[in-house]
Structure 1
Amino acid sequence: MILHSIAKNRTGIVLIIVAALATATGQMLWKLSHTVPDLYFIIGFLLYFCGAVLMIAAFKFGDLSVLHPLLSFGYIFSIFLGSLFLGESLSALQIIGILIIIAGASLIGGGDDD
């Protein structure tokens, strides 16, 4: 059932995950922005906008109940981006949180009734 759902919503799943990554990256660039507007701010805005457009497009290629929970991957991307580019520490509690998000998104959005 889960594999059928993934196959049915494949394009939407890819688009929604790319949207989550784009919006998380855009938000990180806003954080790096020192003045408004500067290059980080502008690129961050464009990435956030592209993420929003991709999210809208994704919903045309899959079921809302499958795709929307996958937006929570943006939280995971934010944690990793903060760790990699902002020097923020990654705690054991955050790793547990990441695993819970993955499990929750899989259980909530992992299958549909068709």
Structure 2
Amino acid sequence: MLREMLDSLSRNRTGIMLIITAALSTAVGQMLWKLSQHFPDAYLIVGFFFYFCGAVLMIVAFRFGDLSLLHPLLSVGYIFSIILGSFFLGEKLSIVQISGIMIIFAGASLIGGGDK
């Protein structure tokens, strides 16, 4: 089973990296939209740019792996959003959110680790 997981990671490495980058880019875009309440023009436009880049990266990523393997990895965007909110917006992390991060990370790792 470990061998199959490593083979899958090797085969789909490019797609996995692109989809994780897409999730990060869309999370950054959404955070900038939130910040646009205070700075309407700049943050809103840059936020749309990041979100657009994330969408394009997602489309490209699907050329390098199976949809059933890559699409669930977009859930790491929730992890990025919580971390960005904590660091840049001063939002407090609860034990429930930290537990959720661990569960999402474990699930994304299990799904992203095998395509058979």
The number of aligned residues is 113
- How far the C-alpha of 1:37 sits from its partner, in A, is 5.1
1:83 paired residue number: 86
Evaluate the alpha carbon distance shift between residue 98 and residue 64 of structure 1 in structure 2; reply closer, same or farther with a 3 A threshold.
Answer: same
- How far the C-alpha of 1:92 sits from its partner, in A, is 1.1
Matches within 5 A, 1:4-43: 4-34=7-37, 38-43=41-46
Question: TM-score, normalised to structure 2's length?
Answer: 0.92
2:76 paired residue number: 73
Q: State which of 101, 104, 115 in structure 2 corresponds to 1:112.
A: 115
Structure 1's unaligned 5+ residue stretches are: none
- How far the C-alpha of 1:34 sits from its partner, in A, is 2.5
- How far the C-alpha of 1:48 sits from its partner, in A, is 0.1
Structure 2's unaligned 5+ residue stretches are: none
Name whichever structure is richer in helix by fraction.
2
Cα RMSD after superposing both structures: 1.3
The separation in 1 between residues aligned to 2:40 and 2:49, in whole angstroms, is 12
Contact 2:9 2:112 in 1 (8 A): no
1:45 paired residue number: 48
Tell me the secondary structure at the aligned position of residue 90 of structure 1: coil
Question: TM-score, normalised to structure 1's length?
Answer: 0.94
Paired-residue identity, %: 73
